[in-house]
Structure formats: C-alpha cells, structure tokens
Structure 1
Amino acid sequence: MSIERYYIINPHMMFMFGLRDRNAKVCTLVRELHRVFIVDRSPLEILDDSLRCIGFNLKGAMDTSKIIMGNNTMCPVMLNHIHNICVFPDRSHNHEETIWFNPNQILRTYSLRRKTQIEFRNRLILMNDSKLFSFNNKWKAAEQLSRITTENANKQVFFISKPPKKAGKRKRKGKIRSESTCD
C-alpha cells in the first residue's frame, strides 16, 4: 500500500478514516474507486487541506454547515460545491475512529444485525457500526447540504446600497434600500 504525503479529496473518494502508524501518529486510510492508500495526515487535516486549496477552511465549512443544517455535532461538510464534493462523518468528528463518507459514492444501505451494510457504486461492501436509521439520516443530511449549497451558489445575488452621506450636502428626496437576495 502506498503512502502519500498530501491529499486533496476528489469525487472518487469513497471513504476515509484515521489510523495510527507505528510511531502513534494519526494518518488516514483513503479508499477511492480504484485504489487504497495511506496519507501521512489526519482526516481533519485532509479536510482542511481540501478546503484551503479553494480558499476556505474547515472551521468555516463546519460553521456554515451548522447554520444551514442546524447545530449538530455530526454535520456534513461541503468541500467543493463546483465539483459537488460533500462528506459526512459516521460519528462526531472528535472521535479518532470516525469514518468520513462521500454520499455520491454510496449506492444503497441495508440493515444487518443492528449495523449498516453500505454498498458503494463500485459494488464494494462495508459494514458500519451505526444503525441503519442513524446512518441514512446522516447520508440524507449530506445530500441536502450539497443541494442547498449548490443552489445558493448558483443564485444571482444583487446588492443595492445607499450611497454614503456627504457632510453639508442636501438630502436626496428618493430612498435607496439595501437588499440582499441571498437566502
């Protein structure tokens, strides 16, 4: 298995999770459609790196997700609305064993012995300790965040602002309102 020093999440990423190397450093196992490899960065560092390359950061993306989806510790994270890359955790991002999933790579889920069996688009099967209802709610939330973020990004936003007042000048008779159509 190859070891990469750096990784930017792309649409082929199916899931990733943290693991410790022989020196107890947190690294990440990444599964893409046709390859598996280890990245010498933690999952949260990979998420932050993926956001920073387009001018954002993980804290801002998580804050935005909480505003859109509600204050939840397991909110999905929109990484790139242009390429429709969103990920969601199977548990709180604070846990070392958290698995981050790409909802676009999941084909279907099944309940098996109070766990969730996840079938990916390339027919790979993964068992997850989450109950089916809980996992599917997180999957649905990620799809919603992706849809809402993409729709908001594609809306035209117009800003009409009031010109600054100049000292000693007469007031204009008409009023100009400040408006924003950003939802």
Structure 2
Amino acid sequence: MNQPLKNEYEVNEKTIALLALEEDGKIRTKVIEESLSFIVDRTPTKVIDASCRYFGSDLSGRISGTKAITNYTHKSPIVVSGMLKLYYFPTMSPSRVECSWISHNFVRHFSPSATDHRKTMVQFTNDVQEELVVSPGVFSNQLERTAQFRLMYEKRFLSSARHSFVSELSPSTPVR
C-alpha cells in the first residue's frame, strides 16, 4: 500500500471493520470506515483493546461483561462504547492474531464465498465487499449473538432508567 502506516487508532461511529491483514510476515489491521480505509500497524484485537481502554475499560473487562449478561464464553461480542452504540464481534477467537472484528451496525448482507465455502463474502452498508476467513455459519451465528447481546444490554439501561427514581413518602402517608 502507498499510504503510511498508522500506529494508533480508536474505533468510532464510522468504523465498519478491523480486518486482519498479513503484510511482510506481520499481522496488521485494515481499517474500513464509511468513506475510507487505511492500515494500522497493530493487530485488530490490539486495536479493539486500545479502543475499549479509550472508552474506560479493556477487552478483558468487556468480554467479562458480555459473559455476565449473556453467558457467552467463546468469541464473545462486545460493546466498545454503550453510549455510542459501538458493538463488535470477532470472526474467531480473539487470542488468534488473525482475528478480525466487525461492527454490528454496518453489515448489510453476507453469503458464502464463490471461491471457498469456508469463507464469507460480506457486503457492508457503504457497499464495500470483503471476503472474510470465517464460514458463513459462524458469521451468521456471531451476527445473531451480537444482536441478542445488544438487545439484552440496552434493555438493562431502559429498565434501570425506569427504576432509578425512588418516590418519597408524602407527609400525609402513614408509615407502618
């Protein structure tokens, strides 16, 4: 690639995917945003961890939080920022350097790759298509688990907001 490598990056509302890319024998991250893409000289999981830290946690804490809510123990989707609704899921175990991370917000369509049934062709909402090293079944499962996690996570905030106000007794109410 002709563009210089970036050393740091935090995901934001425009981040579509963090894709593992092997260059010069090293795994780097191809960042896809709504209107551009570029390379970061870190693995996708390290970019996700740095992004979680930027928003006040770390990847391990986000994974633990997901497990507490959903009981998912492997390849857990995470919320990088609940306020910004940044939900990501891994394509494989995050302990593998070739793990990519996909934003739940930007997947338009996916299908089996035309060249390899063990890969998935993903079309994002900006019409960019990428072939990912993940089976369509696993990709579908990860997308569904992220949707379920998102629903459960956001529901907690809605119910907390409803129950956060404690009414005080009025002076005329007898106390028993």
TM-score, normalisation: structure 1? 0.76
Name the counterpart of 1:87.
88
Separation of aligned partners in 2, 1:86 and 1:146? 7
Do 2:15 and 2:34's aligned partners in 1 also have CA atoms closer than 8 Å?
A: yes
- Find the partner of 1:138 among 127, 131, 142: 142
- Find the partner of 1:127 among 115, 131, 137: 131
Separation of aligned partners in 1, 2:22 and 2:111? 30
Name the counterpart of 1:106.
107
Structure 2 CA distance for partners of 1:112 and 1:90, relative to 1, 3 Å: same
| Matched positions, count | 161
Which has more radius of gyration? 1
Runs of 4+ more than 3 Å apart: 18-22, 24-27, 157-160
Q: Deviations over 1:125-154 (max 9, x none)?
A: 112233322211101111222222222233
Do 2:45 and 2:100's aligned partners in 1 also have CA atoms closer than 8 Å?
A: no
Name the counterpart of 1:32.
33
Amino acid of the structure 2 residue aligned with 1:9: V
Structure 2 CA distance for partners of 1:129 and 1:20, relative to 1, 3 Å: closer
For structure 1, list consecutive stretches of 5 or more residues without a partner in the other structure: 161-173, 175-183
The structural deviation recorded for 1:106 is 0.7
The structural deviation recorded for 1:158 is 4.4
Amino acid of the structure 2 residue aligned with 1:64: G
Do 1:81 and 1:146's aligned partners in 2 also have CA atoms closer than 8 Å?
A: no
Do 1:69 and 1:75's aligned partners in 2 also have CA atoms closer than 8 Å?
A: no
Structure 2 CA distance for partners of 1:126 and 1:83, relative to 1, 3 Å: same
Partner of 1:2: helix, strand, or coil? coil
Query: Percentage identity across aligned positions?
Result: 22
Structure 2 CA distance for partners of 1:2 and 1:69, relative to 1, 3 Å: farther
Separation of aligned partners in 2, 1:129 and 1:20? 13
For structure 2, list consecutive stretches of 5 or more residues without a partner in the other structure: 167-175
Amino acid of the structure 2 residue aligned with 1:86: Y
TM-score, normalisation: structure 2? 0.79
The structural deviation recorded for 1:44 is 2.4
Separation of aligned partners in 2, 1:47 and 1:159? 35
